[in-house]
Amino acid sequence: MASLTQFNLAEAIAVLTRTPATLNALLRGLPNIWVRCNEVKDTWSAFDIVRHLIFGERTDWMPRVLIMLENGEARPFDPFDRFKQLKESQDKSLEQLLDDFARLRRENLAALQALNLQHEDLTRRGRHPALGVVTLSELLATWAVHDLTHVHQLSRVMAHQYRDAVGPWSAFLGVLRCTGHSAP
């Protein structure tokens, strides 16, 4: 299995552990232009992205690990509703959201480590409602890369606010030419 040879649980946990502090350092206390503004209509601000990450901690990653370990391919994961979280936590400050995310991630990583997964467990299989059969290592790798895809998005959404302010330097600033890479 090609994907397994590249996956290492400790390495994935190293990324997952750092994301709350990274977002905290990047976002806490920033003026509203950086955290409340988005790109175009119906795209996400930094606020929305942190709420999305919180929703994933609550409903997606560890719940799917447990469904996979308990049911294998017999029970598909519950679909992940990427828009439901936008109706939740509307009245929280960014500081509260960052605190919530840090706490939930800490609890989830403690639960993951309590499973004491062995190398052979990483090939355990489950069923994704759209993608079909997936492995535990693929799910855990995706959890880490999902963090990175939202760091990627955050930097792009923030840079977008100064797309005109940089004047002719926009030619040299790759992030301003990124149009996003959402799934079709």
* Of residues 31 and 91, the one with the C-beta less far from a second copy: 31
| Binding letters toward a second copy, positions 165-184, x by CB under 8 A | xxxxx-xxxxxxxx-xxxx-
- Encoded one letter per residue, x for contact with a second copy by CB under 8 A and - for no contact, window 1-30 reads -xxx-xxx-xxx-xx--x--xx-xxx--xx
Beta-carbon contacts of 129 under 8 Å, excluding residues fewer than 6 positions away, are: 76, 77, 78, 79
- Determine if 115 is a binding residue for a second copy (CB under 8 A): no
Position 43 contacts a second copy (CB under 8 A): no
The total of other beta-carbon atoms located within 10 Å of residue 90's CB is: 8
Q: By three-state DSSP, how is residue 127 classified?
A: strand
Residue located via tokens 């600033």:
173
Between 75 and 125, name the residue whose CB sits nearer to a second copy: 125
Which residues, 6 or more positions from 18, have their beta carbon under 8 angstroms from its beta carbon? none
How far apart CA 63 and CA 58 sit, in angstroms, is 8
Cα distances from 174 to residues 160, 165, 179, 180, in angstroms, run: 11, 15, 10, 12
- Residue placing its CB nearer to a second copy in the complex, 66 or 148: 148
Site mask, a second copy, residues 147-166, x = CB under 8 A? -xx-xxxxxx-xx-xx-xxx
C-alpha 139/C-alpha 179 separation (Å) is: 26
What does the binding site for a second copy look like in residue numbers (CB under 8 A)? 2-4, 6-8, 10-12, 14-15, 18, 21-22, 24-26, 29-31, 33-34, 128, 131-132, 134-135, 137-139, 141-142, 144-146, 148-149, 151-156, 158-159, 161-162, 164-169, 171-178, 180-183
